Structure 1
């Protein structure tokens, strides 16, 4: 299904940092009262905000930044502010984004004096991540012209622009479709009206504004799946792009916003009630629950030698090396659906999360960090997504015991691997 005809892309001038940030420390996992078996916590929570705090408090600035400005690209009517009148905690464990029909700051929008204020938050410069399970429990806004969304942009947005950065819309709703939400991908050749997505409609006349619902995506190499309350309603892979480029292989940051008006939802009318609210119970990102699933076998490189855990030792910090293939478990690697590569129950890891050429790789407890995120390309490179560098046999050597490392990708034979697929 081709989804809505308009993009949620940023207007030039909105406050946006594009620095990749390390994962933020996490709190005790928050389990909603209506949790089901599908909400069971995976092994590693890499980002979480439960929005606990006194009523009227601002969001945690270590996790979120507030954008300011209007959005001419979508012809939205609101001005995004950094005021707690538009985004604040409610004292009951929720973040409330409030759209108001007012303009106390005398803000100017693309159409003249702004008629509405609202809020838009993102984690750029605070948190970004590649792959995993991304979810939020949300009660959406209600009424004609309202446009709430939970979505993500590639953290290279500032360098390559939209849509080359990629956009993953986890949940969008337009007020004239109170029973339906949309999930969409945008990228080069499939953006705006050509976005790839689908809608999900509640049964029996229910409306999304009537209760909280959990919106999620499970994102793994070459596969993104959307769900509502644990029910999967679409899966997308590169095969859906008609030959266009898949750009969902690098870190993305999170965005929450409530727009008023725009080309897709249309403007509010006399039936639309203000103030109008989008209520978020929690946002959580985990490494996913499929770390031990995926193709398993030997990874071979120079002269047919195998990627090997030295001494078949599963201790943290054990070197990973090149060695003659011998069929032992130390050479059995799972290319996992969460972006990790695993052997002996642990992850292929860049030592100390280094990004410099020559940083050695090792075996280490799986922890969800960028040092353990890899993609196997069609060109047979194994690329560490955090550093953008390739798995490399040091010194171009194929001798037994040659240490493996990361190095700038050169296309040389010592960076070419055959992995299980």
Structure 2
């Protein structure tokens, strides 16, 4: 079942406010331990602050009002009773059965309050690794979501703006979350997506989980706790328009009732809480990348600048093209052309080649760099290496037992 998510009424100011911060890897030689390759973090919030404080207003704004479009039952408020820090590094969004201010909803006097926050006018991104670590609520009628809308919604409306639902859950499906895209001709119940279920009947409400998309030109890949469960491209749209190659802003909310989840009933215990541990966006925009220089003063290069899965990664004369611009993710990935440096077939043996592949979150795409200028695959405990020690253009890169030799030395930037 996919999410019927018509436009949710609220504040949709459009702005591009991302401030990209790039930290370079490497550093002085010495005994420093291995560390993740430097990240290009565009947005991060770990919700540190005193209990009872609102979310950082420089990053988030509260939307207020009801929502007739989905026939939801809550009234969204800006009060800390519905969204506040807990003093332990979390933002808690609370849905309550109450109406302290006599709020009026589409169906009459409102029965519930909750909160919805967005980054419109404060932050937006075009591509990247977008994730939130959350513990969702439970119960019939609960509808938590972490999602994005195109910043041009004020100009083109919905669904032409596009909508990317990173995670939605409806309370009557405690073991399943959904990821969906909506656009012109594939919106509401016609959105394109898939569900992901925990094994053995586990409930998502029992623990924190990380919900993410890896978003690149022409593709969006969804994962839960690093496990990929779907990838969508323009080929999935049957000729309809792909509207996801532009800036989007972030939204998180806890709805109560509506067409999809149904309304709360006698089994629903309230209040219920969506507890948010962190939200981050790591850019994958190759314009922010740097060359990775190796043996012979040559560069790590995507063969033919081809972004297709399986394209070999090789050594080549440094030329400044996008095929040699690498951006490091906070998740330990190393990315070019919107995809990740990947050990072929998840190999761990000496001589396993490396390639470009869509970002999956798997261990064969995680790398660390040491102060000695080794780039290490921790899964295999092996180093990025030039086959045969050759410095000829087109020499394939591989992993190999770390030797400290010159053909395993790399410098970022």
TM-score, normalised on structure 2? 0.68
Give 1:276 deviation, angstroms.
Answer: 0.7
SS in 2 for 1:151: strand
**Structure 1 CA distance, aligned partners of 2:322 and 2:219?**
20
Give 2:73's aligned residue: 77
CA contact (8 A) 2:22 2:40 kept: no
Give 1:168's aligned residue: 164
Give 1:10 deviation, angstroms.
Answer: 2.3
Closer, same or farther in 2 for the Cα pair 1:336/1:253, shift >3 Å?
Answer: farther
Give 1:163 deviation, angstroms.
Answer: 0.5
SS in 1 for 2:273: strand
Alignment of 1:153 onto 2:135: no
**Structure 1 CA distance, aligned partners of 2:62 and 2:196?**
29
Q: How do 1:260-339 and structure 2 match up within 5 A?
A: 260-288=256-284, 296-297=303-304, 329-330=318-319, 332-334=321-323
Give 1:233's aligned residue: 229
Closer, same or farther in 2 for the Cα pair 1:95/1:332, shift >3 Å?
Answer: closer
Closer, same or farther in 2 for the Cα pair 1:298/1:70, shift >3 Å?
Answer: closer
**Structure 2 CA distance, aligned partners of 1:153 and 1:295?**
32
Which residue, out of 5, 16, 39, partners 1:20? Answer: 16
**Structure 1 CA distance, aligned partners of 2:153 and 2:324?**
28
Q: How do 1:112-151 and structure 2 match up within 5 A?
A: 112-151=108-147
Q: How do 1:370-389 and structure 2 match up within 5 A?
A: none
SS in 2 for 1:277: strand
**Structure 1 CA distance, aligned partners of 2:21 and 2:122?**
11
Which residue, out of 184, 189, 192, partners 1:188? Answer: 184
Closer, same or farther in 2 for the Cα pair 1:70/1:336, shift >3 Å?
Answer: farther
CA contact (8 A) 1:48 1:284 kept: yes
Give 2:56's aligned residue: 60
Give 1:3's aligned residue: 2
Closer, same or farther in 2 for the Cα pair 1:41/1:278, shift >3 Å?
Answer: farther
Closer, same or farther in 2 for the Cα pair 1:261/1:295, shift >3 Å?
Answer: same
Give 1:258 deviation, angstroms.
Answer: 0.1
**Structure 1 CA distance, aligned partners of 2:225 and 2:118?**
23
CA contact (8 A) 1:42 1:288 kept: no
CA deviations 1:298-346 (Å, max 9, x no partner) are 89xxxxxxxxxxxxxxxxxxxxxxxxxxx963264418798xxxxxx99
CA RMSD of superposed structures (Å)? 3.0
CA contact (8 A) 1:295 1:336 kept: no
Alignment of 1:109 onto 2:105: yes
TM-score, normalised on structure 1? 0.67
CA contact (8 A) 1:42 1:289 kept: no
CA deviations 1:141-198 (Å, max 9, x no partner) are 1100000000000000111010111100000000000000000000111111110000
**Structure 2 CA distance, aligned partners of 1:41 and 1:191?**
38
Alignment of 1:207 onto 2:206: no
CA deviations 1:54-77 (Å, max 9, x no partner) are 000001000000000001000000
CA contact (8 A) 1:297 1:333 kept: no
Give 2:392's aligned residue: none
Give 1:367's aligned residue: none
**Structure 2 CA distance, aligned partners of 1:106 and 1:43?**
47
**Structure 1 CA distance, aligned partners of 2:103 and 2:70?**
18
CA deviations 1:36-93 (Å, max 9, x no partner) are xxx9676211100000000000010000000000010000000000000000000000
Unpaired runs of at least 5, structure 1 = 28-38, 300-326, 339-344, 349-421
Closer, same or farther in 2 for the Cα pair 1:226/1:110, shift >3 Å?
Answer: same
**Structure 2 CA distance, aligned partners of 1:346 and 1:281?**
26
CA contact (8 A) 1:296 1:333 kept: no
CA contact (8 A) 2:143 2:261 kept: yes
Give 1:358's aligned residue: none
Aligned length: 301
**Structure 2 CA distance, aligned partners of 1:347 and 1:202?**
32
| Greater relative contact order (Cα < 8 A, sep 6+) | 2
Give 1:7 deviation, angstroms.
Answer: 1.0
SS in 2 for 1:165: coil
SS in 2 for 1:269: coil
**Structure 2 CA distance, aligned partners of 1:74 and 1:114?**
15
**Structure 2 CA distance, aligned partners of 1:255 and 1:8?**
15
CA contact (8 A) 2:20 2:40 kept: no
